[in-house]
Structure 1
Amino acid sequence: MKISSLNTIESAHDDSIWTATWVPSDAGPPYLLTGSLDECVRVWNPDTLENIHTNSGHCLGVVSVAVHPSGRIAASASIDSFIRVFDVVTNNTVATLEAPPSEVWQLNFNPQGTTLAVAGGSSTAIKLWDTAQWQLIGTLSVPRPEGLKPSEKSNSKKFVLSVAWSVDGQRIACGSMDGTISIFDVARAKFLHHLEGHCMPVRSLVYSPVDARVLFSASDDGHVHVYDAEGKTLITSMSGHASWVLSVDVTPDGQAIASGSSDKSVRLWDLKMRTATQILNNHTDQVWAVAFGPPGRTDVRSCLLASVSDDKSIAFYQYS
């Protein structure tokens, strides 16, 4: 397995780019969706490097974008405390969801497309929104870990940064400022347990697309962890980045992961070898997001990878 650099779009936004995700398409190549502190969401064609749409519906920086499994609609979260749901093709607003009194940090649709999960920042909870009527249908509150000293039991330590759905849609994981990861049973709206091992904020989470038990995490402690989320077991801890690991994503076949870091690099990790097999230095500032695209049409073992950075650029790679 390897990653080959393809193209880079310099000055893709007017400010730092913090988030990216792919839009699947039945009609042509997948598009890339990016969100920036310049308050814009942009849609890109990776083949032509063309900016297809610019969505300027927020009044503060965009920190997370998510795409519905159908590829027809997407959602963007901003530090203005609003979530904007919009049509990817027409750019028309579908719904505006209010998050106050807490900001939104990260959001994700479930695999079935019926629910949007929103990491509620200082509200220390995950909000669940129905995607048919865009009504709030549930709140999953993150409990404090047992055994903390009274001085440690502050909500600021439980600030929720990241959220991920298992491939079967039965579990939600969320990562917090204090380094803990919380696992919930979605159907029962029940907290199950914490996963421990990180000692600093967990910025990014993603479940394996082939095993609903396996969860990957990225943390400011410089480590990428692989967990058995059901068995509450840390399978392995991988290190190599020189600074915070800000993002992690997994290949469609579940064989490798990529990570982006404030050390300005993107790393490809072989999960069987449990080591980084490639280091790419296409960026000149910290890498906020890495995102693998859907499998290729002619080779299902290959796909595109994108990374975005504080340097305002988007880098595209070929994974095979």
Structure 2
Amino acid sequence: MSDDDDTPVVKKARIFYGSLEEKERERVAREGTGFSGKDAVKAGIAAGNINISSGEAMEMEDRVSERQAEVLAEFERRKRARQITVSTDDAEVKACLRALGEPITLFGEGPAERRERLRNTLSVVGPDALKKSKKDEDKARRSQEEYHQTWYHEGPASLKEARLWLARYSLPRAAGRLQDARALKEVPESTRTVRKQELHKTLRNLNNVCSQIGDDRPISYCQFSPNSKLLATASWSGLCKLWAVPDCSLVRTLRGHNTNVGAISFHPKSTLSLEESDVNMASCAADGSVKLWSLDSDEPVADIEGHTMRVARVAWHPSGRFLGTTCYDNSWRLWDLDAQEEILHQEGHSKGVHDIHFHPDGSLAGTGGLDAFGRIWDLRTGRCVMFLEGHLKEIYSIDFSPNGFHVATGSGDHTCRVWDLRKRRTIYTIPAHQNLLSCVKFQPADGHYLLTGAYDNTAKVWTHPGWSPLKTLAAHEGKVMGLDLSPDGQLIATCSYDRTFKLWMTE
């Protein structure tokens, strides 16, 4: 490029750098130092003629030193990896990877590659990380063992007498149940299949036949009387009510509680052989009160005192002699109403106990807790004979099947689990609802189907066995908080947060 082609900008730049070069030569002559382009750039920056938008400059030497540091660090890591000893047992390698939070295997990965991956991981996190994770596992295991731990307290002399009485009561009933099971087995399979198909067809035709506003507050519980002619409801207003079914007319209002009533339960012989003036019902509330009721008065017959925290559920033993209560003080209690005393105060759950149900024979009791575990208790010996572990959240309901060996539990993890007492494990998990399950109930007569109610405003009917859905009972505008089946098998009742209860019947 000739001088004639210089633009004004180029001429200015040439004059500027020429003056810089001349000044630098004078400085070199004066100080005897060398001239470099780097110094010229610095001088240009100082003069404000060269601008850097970020205001920072990364020196080439700094970038090179960072790269060298990374290479040295990688070299040191590989050196550490060569010095780490890794087991040749593939199962142990997988266990170590799991403990470190790494995937135990990758797609197409063999044992040798897995060992190398473990070695590389340990070279980054350090061999002590594996020891720390093992300590955490041991701590978690010990904590889990504490969950499984059961506390037994020495009971009164009346407890021993009660256990002997329970054994004499339950053994003949168990023998009768087994005899009925053998007789049913003699029925041809085709006949049993046809009966089930007819039942399932009937259940698919369930319809809402009655809807009644039961109170000013949510209705928390409902139960049919043993003769299937009355329905008892409990409300958060503190009131309990008796309704004639199926016309849903109010029979009596029971006034006694001052706060949320958790449950009301009929005596097994109520409306059958008991006099109306006898104790026919029991109820419990959030203030720890438990009250006993007759059928001919709206005032409680008696109070059961002893609870200091919320009592969530009450349940009668099949004999009618004993009453079980669950409390949020992490325990459940057994009351002998003939002796009018508490004979058992049983701990074992690490959080509040929400529900209790007795085996049809009267030999066992099942409890479900807010610790997500269930327990099966042998009332004749006092031991916890089975630990129900599998739910991810609180267990809100538990129920025994009439066949004597199946147990259903409903949980806050939106599932219903069915357990087999013979196999001592879960045999099926039903992904039942879109919200927590508040109640589960087997058909009381034969156990041929299962009912579940949940906070997704629906109740559902499931086959047993098979656990396939038969019918969804969707009519409530609020959470389904309780349900029950009439002993004669004709009616299903559901109660809800929307202050109503509904009756369902087949066409």
Deviation at 1:33, TM superposition (A): 0.5
Which segments of 5 or more consecutive residues in structure 2 lack a partner in the other structure?
1-199, 275-279
Give the structure 2 partner of residue 168 of structure 1.
Answer: 361
Letter in 1 for 2:309: S
Q: TM-score scaled to structure 1, two decimals? A: 0.88
Tell me the residue number matched to 2:393: 200
Contact preservation (8 Å) 1:243, 1:262: yes
TM-fit CA distance, 1:275: 1.5
Query: Partners in 1 of 2:455 and 2:323 — Cα distance?
Result: 28
1:139 alignment partner AA: H
For 1:6-51, what per-residue CA distance to the aligned partner results, in whole angstroms no more than 9, with x for missing partners? 43333211100111111123xxx52111100010000011122101
Aligned-pair CA distance for 1:280? 1.5
Residues 178-193 of structure 1 mapped to structure 2, 5 A cutoff: 178-193=371-386
Q: Equivalences for 1:136-147 in 2 at 5 Å? A: 136-143=342-349
In 2, are the aligned partners of 1:160 and 1:175 still within 8 Å (CA)? Answer: yes
2:317 paired with 1:110: yes
CA contact (8 A) 2:210 2:246 kept: no
Aligned to 1:265: 458
User: Deviations for 1:69-119, whole angstroms, at most 9, x for unmatched residues?
Assistant: 011500010012110100124344222012432221111001111110111
Distance 1:243 1:116 in 2: 31
* 2:411 and 2:437 in contact (8 A); partners too: yes
SS at match of 2:360: coil
Deviation, 1:230, is 4.7
Contact 1:41/1:55 (8 A) holds in 2: yes
- Measured after TM superposition, the shift of residue 178 of structure 1 is 1.9
* Paired-residue identity, %: 21
Q: Which residue of 1 aligns with 2:258?
A: 59
Q: Deviations over 1:111-151 (max 9, x none)?
A: 11111011112x211100112243111122115xxxxxxxx
Deviation at 1:177, TM superposition (A): 0.7
Query: 1:305 — aligned with what?
Result: 492
TM-score relative to the length of structure 2: 0.56
Give 1:181 deviation, angstroms.
Answer: 0.3
Q: 3-state DSSP class of the match of 2:404?
A: coil
Please tell me whether the aligned partners of residues 256 and 299 of structure 2 are also in contact (alpha carbons under 8 angstroms): no
**1:226 to 1:39, Cα distance in 2 relative to 1, 3 A:** same
The answer to whether structure 1 residue 242 and structure 2 residue 448 are counterparts is: no
> For residue 387 of structure 2, what is the amino acid of its counterpart?
H
Aligned equivalents of 1:215, 1:115: Cα separation in 2: 21
Question: Could you tell me how far apart the structure 2 residues matched to 1:319 and 1:230 are?
Answer: 34
Higher RCO, 1 or 2 (CA under 8 Å, sep at least 6)? Answer: 1
Question: Following superposition, which runs of at least 4 residues in structure 1 exceed 3 angstroms of deviation?
Answer: 89-92
Structure 1, unpaired ranges of 5+: 144-154, 296-301
Letter in structure 2 aligned against 1:238 = I
Structure 1 residues 95-106: aligned runs within 5 Å: 95-106=302-313
Change (3 A) 1:44 1:168: same
Q: Following TM superposition, by how much is the alpha carbon of 1:67 offset from its aligned partner in structure 2, in angstroms?
A: 1.0
> Which one has the bigger helix percentage?
2
Instruction: Pick one of 256, 262, 286 that aligns with 1:79.
Output: 286
Q: 1:194 Cα shift?
A: 1.0
Contact 1:11 1:313 in 2 (8 A): yes
8 A contact 1:95–1:134 mirrored in 2: no
Which residue of structure 1 lines up, in the alignment, with residue 412 of structure 2? 220
Distance 2:388 2:250 in 1: 40
Whether the aligned pair in 2 keeps the contact of 1:128 and 1:138 (CA below 8 Å) is yes
How many corresponding residue pairs? Answer: 296
Q: Is the 8 A contact 2:212 2:248 kept in 1?
A: no
User: Quick one: which amino acid aligns to residue 78 of structure 1?
Assistant: A
Letter in 1 for 2:456: D
Q: Which residue among 467, 470, 483 is the counterpart of 1:274?
A: 467
CA RMSD, Structure 1 to Structure 2 (Å): 1.6
| Equivalent-residue separation in structure 2 for 1:89 and 1:168 (angstroms) | 30
Distance 1:8 1:163 in 2: 29
Q: What amino acid does structure 2 have at the position aligned with 1:142?
A: G
